[in-house]
């Protein structure tokens, strides 16, 4: 019988309740499970805003973040997750929430 974890944590950015990660794969990229930190939607936002993806950030600023609703873009993002062995399935990303919470402030320290 599979044991169900009742532990919960909250995203340090948006406050959403999350289930802490278990059986973490340290090789997973760009996302892996964690005991605390960001929910999937805030983690995706942080990834899209990172300095290493400046061209993505510039494109989002130029075209507007609503382009994230485009199924072709979501599919390509899923390929990035797949290639990296991410522990975050693309199906767990709520793109409407990513867009709605885009301008939320960031905590001074994550984790």
Residues of the domain holding 16 = 9-100
What integer is the mean pLDDT of 54-67? 92
pLDDT at residue number 110? 65
pLDDT at residue number 7? 64
33 in a structural domain: yes
pLDDT at residue number 1? 43
111 in a structural domain: no
Percentage of the chain lying above the pLDDT 90 cut: 59
Q: pLDDT tier at 2 (50, 70, 90 boundaries)?
A: very low
Dihedrals φ, ψ of 76, to 5°?
A: -65, -35
74 in a structural domain: yes
pLDDT at residue number 6? 55
Strands 9-10 and 17-18: antiparallel
pLDDT in tens, 24-60: 888 888 888 887 889 999 999 999 998 888 888 899 9
More confident residue, 110 or 4: 110
89 in a structural domain: yes
User: Considering its fold, how many domains does the chain have in total?
Assistant: 1
The pTM of the full predicted model, rounded to 2 decimals, is: 0.84
- Checking if the pLDDT of 4 tops 80, the result is no
75 in a structural domain: yes
Rounded Cα gap, residues 93 and 102, in angstroms? 14
87 in a structural domain: yes
């Amino acid at each position: 019988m599979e044991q169900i974890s009742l532990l919960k944590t909250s995203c340090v950015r948006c406050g959403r309740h999350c289930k802490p990660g278990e059986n973490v794969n340290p090789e997973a990229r760009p996302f892996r499970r964690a005991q605390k930190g960001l929910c999937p939607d805030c983690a995706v936002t942080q990834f899209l805003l990172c300095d290493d993806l400046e061209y993505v950030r510039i494109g989002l600023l130029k075209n507007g973040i609503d382009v994230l609703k485009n199924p072709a873009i979501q599919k390509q993002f899923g390929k990035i997750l797949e290639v990296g062995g991410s522990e975050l399935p693309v199906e767990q990303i709520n793109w409407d929430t990513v867009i709605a919470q885009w301008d939320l402030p960031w905590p001074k320290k994550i984790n």
